[in-house]
Chains A and B, each alone.
Chain A
Amino acid sequence: MTHQNMGFTDFLASSIHDMKNSLNIQLGALETIAAQCQQRGDTPTFESLGHVIYQANRMNVNLVQLLSLYKFETSTYPVDISEHPLAETLNEVVLRIKSIMAFKGITLTVDCEPDCYWYFDRELLMGILINALNNAYNYTTDKIRVSAGIQGGWLELRVEDNGRGYPPGMLMAEGASVNKGVSFASGSTGLGFYFSSQVAHMHKNGDRSGALIIENGGTYGGGCFVVRLP
């Protein structure tokens, strides 16, 4: 990387940081207004705000992912892989996303044993789950299931929906590289998949490292976003 490039990337990163701060203030205000609408029974406004909040959340997720990728690249991300209770982590992901699901009348189910513990970077993993849930929100009919379980020395996290499933071009087996699905026209940048697969790979145990799998089927026969961590 040349010095000029470095300057540009650093510029991008600091701008993203700044945008994220503004966005967070907007998000906070929007959620307060939405809650007020709900209290006075103004359902139409509440529902249209829901979509705005969903979009703002998506933007925030994108910015966080870009900033994190920048930090991975410059080795400045404070990766902190430690043991966490999965039930607690999934519960928190749901708390972050619950209001959005309610706007669209989606039933979100969590399936995880209370004594399931695993090693991961809490913020990164929550980031990829929120991203997966945002996707599922967009493509599901009315159901989403998020689950975690340990099988044969691996943690498997699944986000499943009852939508039409992923198009064939986006399916991804374990270990596949993520460079498809980039389309400015459809708005699918591939950023979420790329970020998720990077994060999965950063989770290592001995000589094994994590992976992202995109498949169809699962509990509801729709799209399945699967992360496996060693």
Chain B
Amino acid sequence: MPATLQQATILIIDDFQGMRTMLREFVRSMGVTKIDTASHGKEALTQLSNVKYDIVICDFNLGAGQNGQQVLEEAKLHNYIGVSTVWVMVTAEKTHEMVMGAAEIKPDDYLLKPINQALLENRLVKQIARKQSLGPIEEAIRSQDYAAAIVRCDEQIKAKVLNPQEILRIKSDLLLTMEDFDGACALFQAVLAIRSVPWAKTGMGKVRFHAQDYAGARDLFQQVLHEHPMYIEAADWLAKTYAALGDATQAQQILSEAVKVSPNSPTRQKLLADTAYRNGALAVAQTAFEKIIRINEFSPHKSPTAYTELARVLSDQASPLEALKVLERSKKDFKYNAHAAIQTAAAESTVYQKMGQDDRAQAAMARAESLWRGYPARSVRRWPST
């Protein structure tokens, strides 16, 4: 992170020429000289892969193709941007993905339109200061020196930074990672004494969960969701807690509600799909797998597993022809991916087997095996046994 805004290298991503020009003029007037622009996700990702940007100003809505959130996720996945990069999303309205708990990867800040230069500059300066306060903590976390990271958190809190709650939250995560549950518990208690803050109450629930007090954990997660229905992290933990309590039906119910609030998390959809499949709720599992395929359409998370698992659900629902269609799509979508081809062929074999077409099943399996022999990689995930 540069010491000042003027030294920063900035990328502006917006599909409207007019907006790109306006934003470029804004940052140029702030004294920034290193400015690039991109008009869509693909172009932005190419630039992000070539240049280390300090600041990315990205419109959430980028027309056809990837939206701003997906560009952010892909950039993060490929390590094009680091923890010190400031990512500001410009948007016409606030979405669940931008706020607490509703997405795994979030922008550092979001700005509602209409924006002006003074407003943008104020936010960028604030974010640079924030990144500078987080820098030493994240450095310690990267080298897995969690004790040092905690010491640095305390230093920042003492120094009266602009974001004391954020630092406390990082500290609580560190305490949980180090399995210092007493320390974490004390921190959450101190925060909760003042106000019922969702992250602290959820944290307290995690402490109970680790102490195997599942009933206590369940009550806390339920309280959080009652007070803050959008705080999805609590829903994920509540589902996990119900699973630990042996109540898979409730776990599925909670996840079904959670994906209604925040439908675009592939991990949550996967959890729902797997839970529903185990519960025999094949229609729910099917919908969730279909959603995963749709979410990951333009995403780096796109994998043949969602296709083969959807095929398995369809096959179990006595729709083998539908299952084969899904696998055809998988073949097409992963044309140049040997790993995917093996997985898909193995899945095909299982569907044919279930249909009683042993010769076709064997042919598919033979194809999978010949691909396997020609494929140098370490391991290939087989069709999970059920």
A interface residues, Cβ below 8 angstroms from B:
17, 20-21, 24-25, 27-28, 31-32, 60, 67, 75, 77-83, 85, 88, 91-92, 95-96, 98-99, 115, 117, 119, 123, 204-206
Docked-complex contact B92 and A78, CB < 8 angstroms: no
| B18, B116, B164, B165 — most chain A CB neighbours (10 Å) | B116
In this complex, how many residues of chain B approach chain A with their Cβ under 8 Å: the count is 32
Given the known inter-chain contacts A80-B230, A83-B165, A96-B116, please indicate yes or no for A17 contacting B93, CB distance below 8 A.
yes
List, in ascending order, chain B residues with CB within 8 A of A83's CB.
164-165, 197
Interface check B122, CB cutoff 8 A? yes
List, in ascending order, chain A residues with CB within 8 A of B99's CB.
78, 80
Interface check B158, CB cutoff 8 A? no
Docked-complex contact B122 and A91, CB < 8 angstroms: yes
Shortest Cβ gap from B307 to chain A (Å): 31
Jot down 6 A-B pairs with beta carbons below 8 A, ordered by A.
Answer: A28-B19, A78-B99, A80-B230, A96-B116, A98-B118, A99-B116
9 tightest A-B contacts by CB? Answer: A80-B99, A95-B118, A83-B165, A27-B114, A78-B96, A24-B113, A24-B114, A95-B119, A78-B99
Residue of B nearest to A96 (CB): B119
Residue of B nearest to A204 (CB): B227
Q: Chain A at the B interface: mostly helix, strand, loop or mixed?
A: helix
List, in ascending order, chain A residues with CB within 8 A of B165's CB.
82-83
Residue of B nearest to A82 (CB): B100
Docked-complex contact B18 and A78, CB < 8 angstroms: no
Residues 111-125 of B contacting A (Cβ, < 8 Å): 112-114, 116, 118-119, 122-123
Docked-complex contact B114 and A60, CB < 8 angstroms: yes
Residue of B nearest to A75 (CB): B229
Which of A31, A88, A123 meets B116, CB within 8 Å? A31
Docked-complex contact A81 and B116, CB < 8 angstroms: no
B interface residues, Cβ below 8 angstroms from A:
18-19, 22, 92-96, 98-100, 102, 112-114, 116, 118-119, 122-123, 126, 160, 162, 164-165, 195-197, 227-230
Given the known inter-chain contacts A83-B165, A205-B196, please indicate yes or no for A123 contacting B118, CB distance below 8 A.
no
Shortest Cβ gap from B18 to chain A (Å): 7
In the complex, what distance in Å separates the CA atom of A60 from the CA atom of B113? 10
| B94, B118, B122, B230 — most chain A CB neighbours (10 Å) | B94
List, in ascending order, chain A residues with CB within 8 A of B116's CB.
31, 95-96, 99
Docked-complex contact B22 and A32, CB < 8 angstroms: yes
List, in ascending order, chain A residues with CB within 8 A of B19's CB.
28
In the complex, what distance in Å separates the CA atom of A99 from the CA atom of B229? 38
List, in ascending order, chain B residues with CB within 8 A of A117's CB.
164
Docked-complex contact A78 and B22, CB < 8 angstroms: no
Shortest Cβ gap from B41 to chain A (Å): 20
Shortest Cβ gap from A216 to chain B (Å): 32
List, in ascending order, chain B residues with CB within 8 A of A67's CB.
93
In the complex, what distance in Å separates the CA atom of A27 from the CA atom of B19? 12
Shortest Cβ gap from B95 to chain A (Å): 7
Docked-complex contact A25 and B18, CB < 8 angstroms: yes
In the complex, what distance in Å separates the CA atom of A137 from the CA atom of B116? 20
List, in ascending order, chain B residues with CB within 8 A of A31's CB.
114, 116
List, in ascending order, chain B residues with CB within 8 A of A28's CB.
18-19, 22, 114
Given the known inter-chain contacts A96-B119, A123-B112, please indicate yes or no for A20 contacting B92, CB distance below 8 A.
yes
In the complex, what distance in Å separates the CA atom of A115 from the CA atom of B157? 13
In the complex, what distance in Å separates the CA atom of A77 from the CA atom of B92? 14
In the complex, what distance in Å separates the CA atom of A92 from the CA atom of B95? 20
List, in ascending order, chain A residues with CB within 8 A of B229's CB.
75
With A78-B94, A80-B100 known, 11 other A-B pairs at CB within 8 A are: A24-B92, A28-B18, A28-B114, A78-B99, A80-B94, A82-B100, A83-B164, A95-B118, A95-B122, A117-B164, A123-B112
Docked-complex contact B114 and A123, CB < 8 angstroms: no
Docked-complex contact A88 and B162, CB < 8 angstroms: yes
Residue of A nearest to B126 (CB): A88
Shortest Cβ gap from B59 to chain A (Å): 12
